[in-house]
C-alpha cells in the first residue's frame, strides 16, 4: 500500500520561530544588538518563558531598521520619534509595490485626525481614518510620501 503524502504548507510570516541566536545570525548582528532594539522599544519579540522568539516579519523589520540606522544615518531616538508620526514605509521611503505587500509594516503613528484625547475607542477610529486617508493618498499620487512635521502653535 502506498503512503499518502502530506502537504507541507509554508510557515506564516508572523509565526515566531527564530530564537535570538538564529535571528542574530540571519541578520549578521550580535544578539546584544537585538536586545538593545527591544530595550529601546523598536521591536517586540514574542516570549516563551525567558526566550525571545522572532518571526520572519520581525527579521524583515529589523533589516529595514538597520538600513535606516546605517545607510540613512538616523539615530535610534530619531527613529523612535519618527515612528510616532509616520509608518515605517513612509520613513524608509519604500516604493508602493513593496509597502503595499509588506507584512512587516510598523505603524505606531499617533492619529493625526481630530479625536477626543483619552478615549481609546475614539483614538482607534481616528487611527483607522488616518490609515484610510494614507491609502487613498498613496493611490492617487505617484510622488514620494514624506512625513509631515508638527505645526507651530
pLDDT digits (tens, 9 = 90+) for 52-80: 999 988 898 899 899 889 998 999 999 88
pTM assigned to the model: 0.63
pLDDT digits (tens, 9 = 90+) for 137-153: 656 444 444 444 444 44
Stronger pLDDT, 75 or 131, i.e. the higher one: 75
H or E, element range at 53: strand 51-54
123, 104 contact by CB (below 8 A): no
Domains of the chain are 18-109 (1.10.1660.10)
Compute the distance between CA of residue 106 and CA of residue 87 in angstroms, rounded to an integer.
Answer: 6
- How many C-beta atoms surround the C-beta of residue 92 within 10 A? 21
105, 89 contact by CB (below 8 A): yes
Average pLDDT, the chain: 77
Amino acid at each position: 500500500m502506498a503512503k499518502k503524502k502530506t502537504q507541507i504548507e509554508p510557515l506564516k510570516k508572523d509565526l515566531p520561530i527564530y530564537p535570538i541566536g538564529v535571528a542574530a545570525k540571519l541578520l549578521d548582528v550580535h544578539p546584544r544588538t537585538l536586545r538593545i532594539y527591544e530595550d529601546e522599544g523598536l521591536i517586540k519579540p514574542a516570549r516563551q518563558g525567558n526566550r525571545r522568539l522572532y518571526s520572519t516579519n520581525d527579521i524583515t523589520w529589523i533589516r529595514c531598521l538597520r538600513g535606516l540606522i546605517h545607510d540613512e544615518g538616523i539615530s535610534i531616538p530619531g527613529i523612535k520619534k519618527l515612528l510616532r508620526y509616520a509608518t515605517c514605509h513612509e520613513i524608509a521611503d519604500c516604493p508602493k509595490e513593496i509597502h503595499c505587500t509588506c507584512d512587516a509594516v510598523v505603524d505606531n503613528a499617533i492619529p493625526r485626525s481630530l479625536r477626543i484625547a483619552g478615549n481609546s475607542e475614539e483614538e482607534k477610529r481616528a487611527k483607522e481614518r488616518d490609515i484610510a486617508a494614507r491609502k487613498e493618498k498613496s493611490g492617487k499620487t505617484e510622488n514620494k510620501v514624506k512625513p509631515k512635521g508638527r505645526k507651530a502653535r
